[in-house]
Amino acid sequence: MPQRRQLLAGAAIGGAVATAGCFIPDPDEVDDDDPVDDDPVDDPTDDDPTDDPADDDEEDDGEDEPESPPGELDGLSERYAAILDELAWAETSYEAGRSAYSNEHAAYRSLVESLQDEDEVTAVDVNQLRSRNDDLQAVFDGPLAPFAHLQSAVQTAGFISELDDQVTIDDQQRVQDTLDRLRGKLASVAPENLERTDDLSADPLTSRIVTATDAPALLKSRSRVAAVRSEPTTAQPRPLFELRYEGAVSGSRFAYSTDAATAVGAPSIAGRPGESVFAEPTMVPEEPDLSAAVDVETVFEPVANPVDRVQEVWLVVNEFLAATADRVTEARRYDVGLLPGTPVYLQEYDTPANAADAVDVLFEGPVSEPEPVVNPDIGGETWRGIVYDGETGPLYAALAQAGPVVAVVGPSRDPLEERDPDADTPGWIRRLEWSFLADISSGAD
């Protein structure tokens, strides 16, 4: 049965830097029985009195600390674990949470409406309202805990306090006015309204991973989210993510950059180019390179190793450009599988040692280092350039291992050094830096 996955753990940067300095004894600690030369100039073993011992330390400390070897990443395991936790939660708990919210909201709203038909609202009724409010809030302490930021938006305790005071003085007219305002408040946070604003979208990746403001730094940089929201029609590239995962919890999902598109059909990693399209987008895709289209699963088959593997993740970061006046007329239906995209394949093993063994097996078999060796920088970390044989010839890619996870990214028939050689950041790398594979805290865009 498919299982859950976790990704690359960080490799520690090691290496001690030797420091040397001049030892000058403290005069108070000099033994009186030891001869002391009063004239240091005559002592050929003395250091130059003009030398500052700190200078020697600075010279030695100036040596570069050794960096992690190519392909050993730091922090990716934590980011991957967070992504997989989100995916597992999305598959197992999200729908139950949405249903719980819908049921509690309906019961609360029904009670309010029934009391609006009563001639007299009592303290018992107010306690029932308080209980309903508490039950609605409790949903965000349970199945919708990742959406705890919505608790304040659905909080109605203030209305309950007002009703308590009004019932105490038996001002039934004001009670009805407050009940009317309470019903309006509940209508504003009705499930259908939260779904429409993506706060509780039917797609948990959209509502939680991509747009939830308090979500972990998953899939892409918050700065990019802010840029997309503030300039929705500029010619800034935007990502559209596709994921497929096989583990304890399995599935295939789209996750969108804000204002990306409305998608229909299966993600391209679950089908073949030409089978997946999106309709009426606000974002127009870049011109696809049809010759570069790959079957995302087939292209990784030579580097798959099931021994001691517990789960797999396929990820594709597709790229769009914003619609402009001269392009928007063509924004109709596009094949997601033919968008410019960078494929990713992640294999999680049961232990870091077994992941390291899997890498060794790859280099003993299908994988080698190309000539010239190019170890690309992705998100401020150095990956290991590799080459392996695909169905149509050699495929060039980048590999990394961290903890229990092995990642292979960006397979293409084009060698790494020939991809966008004049660009500050080649497109295939830029797309990866939109994803959790890069440490966005390092400032990588």
What does R_g of the chain's alpha carbons equal in angstroms? 30
In terms of residue numbers, what domain contains 353? 217-442
Written as tens digits, the pLDDT of the chain (445 aa) is: 232 222 222 222 122 222 222 222 333 444 444 433 444 444 444 555 555 554 555 545 545 555 667 888 888 888 788 777 777 777 788 888 999 999 999 999 999 999 999 999 999 999 999 999 999 999 999 888 877 878 889 999 999 999 999 999 999 999 999 999 999 999 999 998 887 766 776 666 555 544 332 333 433 443 444 444 444 444 556 677 777 888 767 766 655 554 444 555 556 666 666 666 666 555 566 655 555 566 787 899 999 999 999 999 888 887 776 555 555 555 556 666 667 889 999 999 999 999 999 999 999 999 999 998 999 999 889 999 999 998 888 999 999 999 999 999 999 999 999 998 898 889 999 888 877 888 755 443 4
The pTM for the full model equals 0.66
349 and 393 within one domain: yes
Note whether 224 and 236 are within 8 A (CB).
no
Asked if 291 and 328 touch (Cβ cutoff 8 Å), the reply is no
Q: Is residue 325 part of a domain?
A: yes
The reply to whether 105 falls in a domain is yes
Same-domain status, 319 and 221: yes
Q: How would you classify the pairing of strands 405-412 and 341-349?
A: antiparallel
Q: Is residue 263, in this structure, part of any structural domain at all?
A: yes
What length is written for the chain? 445
| Same domain for 290 and 155 | no
Instruction: Give residue 271's pLDDT.
Output: 61
Structure tokens at 158: 């203030």
CA–CA gap between residue 105 and residue 433 (Å, rounded): 40
Looking at the fold, whether 251 and 369 belong to one and the same domain comes out as: yes
Determine the pLDDT at residue 288.
57
**151 with 227, same domain?**
no
Same-domain pairing of 380 and 347 = yes
Q: How many domains does the chain have?
A: 2
Could you tell me if residue 31 is inside a domain? no
Based on the fold, state whether residues 384 and 415 are members of the same structural domain.
yes
- pLDDT for res 223: 42
Write out the E strands in 356-402.
367-368, 377-378, 381-382, 384-390, 393-402
Same domain, 240 and 188: no
- What is the pLDDT, as a whole number, of residue 226? 45
In a domain, 278, yes or no: yes
**pLDDT in the model for residue 224:** 44
From the number of C-beta atoms within 10 Å of its C-beta (0-12, 13-18, 19+), residue 405 rates as: buried
Residue 400 resides in a domain? yes
- DSSP string for residues in 185-227: HHHHT-HHHHHHTTTT-SSHIIIIIIS-TTS-S-SS-HHHHHH
Which of 362, 90, 379 has its CA nearest to residue 245?
A: 90
φ, ψ at 406 (rounded to 5°): -120, 130
Annotate 249-298 with DSSP letters as a single string.
S-EEEEEE-TT--EEES--GGGS-TTS-EEES-SEEEPPP-GGG---TTG
Mark whether 100 and 233 lie in a shared domain: no
Asked if the structure places residue 190 within a domain, the reply is yes
